[in-house]
Structure 1
């Protein structure tokens, strides 16, 4: 009986060790796993394409005002951005560069959104043709590419730098010179919390 009990106790210890090790490995993997931020153009305004009350002053204003939204979907990690380089183009399927802009480096907290506003003088846009198009109900398309490098903050330390690139983000501009930007819903990620709960329960067994 004693040998049987001893063997059963060893089996339970081995099983518990394997289960604990497996859950620990899962917890570490989930803790170190990262998700890239998402990027969208939430607002654009071009006074030169605003047909309501158009004047010579607005028609000659070739400034492109914009707001980009960067979303950190991770609830347990921060993101440190290097300088964010933006390149703007006219046309969905063409490569007519119209300007560049640089967002200074910044830190983004857990599960946070960051709206970055900027403006530039758009050069190379066929303004007369674009104005006629919006006047007739068409919607000229503008495109943006984004490039930067990011580091993810896990507890007290940062990972190495990772390239982060978003290409062919497009918006259509209407006769008010604006686009109708949309935002993605926030999402809650539970796997890491679930794994921590399992880990604690095993330790209490």
Structure 2
């Protein structure tokens, strides 16, 4: 009986190690992309640099690697801005590498072309930002295939020209329904692999 219990404990321990190894091998999370700052100078009532008549928009894009054991290689970042459905500008950033659980910022200014500022009467304006790129995950000995990342979000700007942030003064996260579906499928795959490993040890 003791020998049987010892074998059962050994199987359970081996199962746990196998499941953990598979999880670490397959686990991937898309990076978190958020707008931390979005200043529309044409809407600001007071300024020390005479930007009140400027069409420039200043933004701060944050990218966060949420994985603790994998780095991320980004292809070229394509960031596009809209006012309602009207294109107002874009920015392109060169490819780069991001280490484990690291965050980085891409900051810049765009000239909001085509916006009729003199016709703005609402207390709040809504802009939109969309980001498109592809990422590869750095495993211990190899890189994953490219995964397309396309995310976006609406940005509410008050009559002072400042971004209306979320609770706790948090930035606005860019989201993608397709990304959520991919994560769900990945977790379902991990669950099936765990079941197959368990059956193997029975």
Please report the TM-score for the alignment, with normalisation by the length of structure 2.
0.72
- Counterpart Cα distance in 2 of 1:124 and 1:18: 67
Question: Are positions 1:42 and 2:32 aligned together?
Answer: no
Give the match for residue 192 of structure 1. Answer: none
Pick closer, same or farther for the CA change 1:173–1:155 going to 2, 3 Å: same
Contact 2:46 2:52 in 1 (8 A): no
- Counterpart Cα distance in 2 of 1:50 and 1:24: 58
Give the match for residue 98 of structure 1. Answer: 88
Please report the TM-score for the alignment, with normalisation by the length of structure 1.
0.71
Alignment equivalent of 1:183, drawn from 164, 167, 170: 170
- Counterpart Cα distance in 1 of 2:170 and 2:106: 14
- 2:29 is paired with a residue whose SS is coil
Give the match for residue 113 of structure 1. Answer: 103
- Counterpart Cα distance in 1 of 2:19 and 2:47: 61
Provide the alpha-carbon RMSD of the alignment: 2.5
- 1:149 is paired with a residue whose SS is strand
Gapped regions of structure 2 (runs ≥ 5): 172-202
Question: Are positions 1:160 and 2:115 aligned together?
Answer: no
- Counterpart Cα distance in 2 of 1:79 and 1:52: 41
The C-alpha deviation readout for 1:89-131, integer Å capped at 9, x for no partner, is 113xxx211111112111111111111101121112221123x
Which protein is bigger by CA-based radius of gyration? 1
Gapped regions of structure 1 (runs ≥ 5): 185-205
